Amino acid sequence: MTSLVASKKRWGEKILRLVFFLCAFISVVTTICVIAILAYETLSFFQEVSVTEFLFGTEWRPLLEPKAYGILPLLAGTLLIVIGSSLVALPVGLACAVYLSEFASDRARSIVKPILEILAGIPTVVYGYFALTFVTPGLRLMLDDVQIFNAASAAIVVGIMVLPMVASLCDDALRSVPGSLREGAYSVGATSYEVTARIVVPAALSGIFAAFVLAVSRAIGETMAVTLAAGATPNLTLNPLESIQTMTAYIVQVSLGDTPSGGLAYKTLFAVASLLFTITLVMNLLANKVMRKFQEVYD
Amino acid sequence: MDLIKPVTPEVIGRRSGSLRRRHLYSRAFRIACIGFTMSAVGVLGLLIYQVAAAGLPWLDLQFLTSFPSRFPERAGVKSALYGTLWVVSFTAMISLPVGVLAAIYLEEYAPASTMTRIIEINIANLAGVPSIVYGILGLAVFVRFLGLERSVIAGALTMSLLILPVIIISAKEAIRAVPSSIRLAAFAVGATQWQVVRSHVLPSAIPGILTGVILALSRAIGETAPLIMIGALTYVAFVPDGPMDEFTALPIQIFNWTSRPQAEFHELAAAGIIVLLAVLLTMNAVAVFIRYQGTRK
């Protein structure tokens, strides 16, 4: 009887397998590099600036005398963008998703979906241009006391930018709700509003929640539109009509200048980036976890 | 899941008002959803109109073949257009093989181990890391540590890391769509794992893989922040000759023009945006064409 064991060792197969594994492992190396670099430079930043001053200081002035390293103004700027963009993207995105999954005909769906994909594919610098040349002049026409660079304008375009993502993820969540639930509700006489608001949306709530968290995380990391339209003045305010600076915009501002490598100003880049990375990572982990859980419910 | 209550008249709120009022609510709700969707579509139209109205008068051969200039009427996007093409070509050469091989490993080879799970979760999370963080990584590793300076290759390596998760995720989906009966038939007649992948899985998966890669590359073309971080220059009056040359790129040129106060430069930015969108549209058309060819077979 012939043996079923391979007659010769296939070294080529083994080497290929190793090469493929290394390609997949690059992603892990990337993460390790990001964390190592951010941690190393941030630790050396904290040898010169105390953690308390960084996290609770109310003034951010790392490039001018007298220097101050309180992150709160940048966090407040980012928060303004997040709140404003959420006010635009979350309700409109969810409404788009409800329309697409509950009301739209196949034909309407096949037109609206690609348009949303185009909206999602437009580069962020184009949204920055749109904010400066259209949204800001519009706001100044409607309201008094709007500064040329202001948080509201940037928040609106960031909202438009993340809207397609919210719509697409919520659409997926709504469509994964089994049709039998809808039919059950219709059969006891519910109207389409009642079916959507009291049956379908609650059933898809965890998916919708994950979509919202991912949208907020995107808004926090958004850079170019915010740099162009929101200004470069670290400002501890919650007034959206004033010029502010976000964490990402600060990072761009420093790297556009001639900051020498190794100085304290250079290290602030990494301290701010660490905070940015930590916040978005926690939100993404949360969203992915919720999403995995919710996929299990109906599978 | 306890969110789903049994469907009873109370749950759907039949007691909350007359039938006519409930239908009125329902219709208003439907109209509101359609209205919101139309407004999103309208914004796209508005954006395109705004850009076209400002930029089209500036868009001519002179604009495409001139270098940037302090004088708006003499300025052009030649160096930025070439820089973008250089960077995206090298990004494709790096990210395409690495991404596809990683996807092959995860779909065809990977055992159901902790290591595999770590890689999968890690890729999902990397896809959500803000692009500016990749810029900082590129600055620290490629520009400073490896001493590549502000070169095309440093930009391409940074962009590759940025789009790798996107490529891996879409390539995995394309590979998973290949029916397993094809694999099993090949194994049954004695093919090795690599023979199965090369001769059976890849040929059917390639249209899907290419579509994903092109869409990922078009994301790389639009990215600005990472290139600013690694120090792509805003004023470059030459075309790169090789991967070690300095460069600028279309989005950076657009950013530069938009951030100036003068209206003429804003119009130049609009013209630059038209060029950028034209490049993106061409790539997307190619992706759609490949997908169409793939489904026809």
Q: What are the tens digits of pLDDT across the range A265-278? A: 888 989 999 999 99
Distance of alpha carbon A91 from alpha carbon A93, whole angstroms:
5
Nearest CB neighbour to A27, from listed B119, B137, B194: B119
The residue in chain A having the minimum alpha-carbon distance to the alpha carbon of residue B109 is A17
Question: Is the C-alpha dihedral spanning B206, B210, B211, B212 positive or negative?
Answer: positive
What's the pTM value of the predicted model, to 2 decimals?
A: 0.89
| Residue for token pair 């257009």 | B81
Distance of alpha carbon A86 from alpha carbon A283, whole angstroms:
15
Q: Which chain B residues have a beta carbon less than 8 Å from that of A167?
A: 40
**DSSP 8-state code for residue B246:** B
Test mutation, B119, B144, B255, chain A, max A CBs within 10 A: B255
Distance of alpha carbon B81 from alpha carbon B77, whole angstroms:
6
* C-alpha B3: how far from chain center: 36
Residues (pLDDT < 70) of chain B are: 1-17, 233-235, 295-297
Average pLDDT over residues A224-243: 87
- A298 touches B at CB < 8 Å: no
Q: Which chain A residues have a beta carbon less than 8 Å from that of B40?
A: 92, 96, 115-116, 119, 160, 163-164, 167
Distance of alpha carbon B85 from alpha carbon B65, whole angstroms:
15
The residue in chain A having the minimum alpha-carbon distance to the alpha carbon of residue B256 is A228
Nearest CB neighbour to B1, from listed A221, A283, A297: A297
Q: Tell me the residues of chain A between 4 and 23 that have a Cβ less than 8 Å away from chain B.
A: 10, 12-13, 16-17, 19-21, 23
Distance of alpha carbon A143 from alpha carbon B201, whole angstroms:
60
Distance of alpha carbon B265 from alpha carbon A228, whole angstroms:
14
In order of start, what are the domains of chain A with their CATH numbers?
60-298 (1.10.3720.10)
Distance of alpha carbon B51 from alpha carbon B280, whole angstroms:
15
Least confident of A39-48, A57-66, A86-95, A241-250: A57-66
Q: What is the mean pLDDT of chain B?
A: 87
Write down the CATH number for the domain with range B63-296.
1.10.3720.10
Distance, in angstroms, between A202 CA and closest chain B CA? 6
Nearest CB neighbour to B136, from listed A10, A269, A284: A269
Please count the residues of chain A: 299
- A189 touches B at CB < 8 Å: yes
Identify the pLDDT of residue A1: 53
**B157's tokens:** 């390596």
- A158 touches B at CB < 8 Å: no
Residue whose C-alpha is closest to residue A249's, from A238, A235, A261, A262: A235
Q: Which residue has the higher pLDDT, B290 or A261?
A: B290
**B171's tokens:** 């390539």
Identify the pLDDT of residue B147: 85
Domain boundary assignment for chain B: 19-58, 63-296
Given an 8 Å threshold on Cβ–Cβ distance, is B224 in contact with A223?
yes
Average pLDDT over residues A103-118: 90
**A251's tokens:** 């990072």
Distance of alpha carbon B96 from alpha carbon B85, whole angstroms:
16
Instruction: Give the model confidence (pLDDT) of A64-85 as tens digits.
Output: 778 888 899 999 999 999 999 9
Cα–Cα distance list, A257 to A271, B138, B234 (Å): 18, 17, 12
pLDDT > 70 fraction of chain A, expressed in percent and rounded: 95
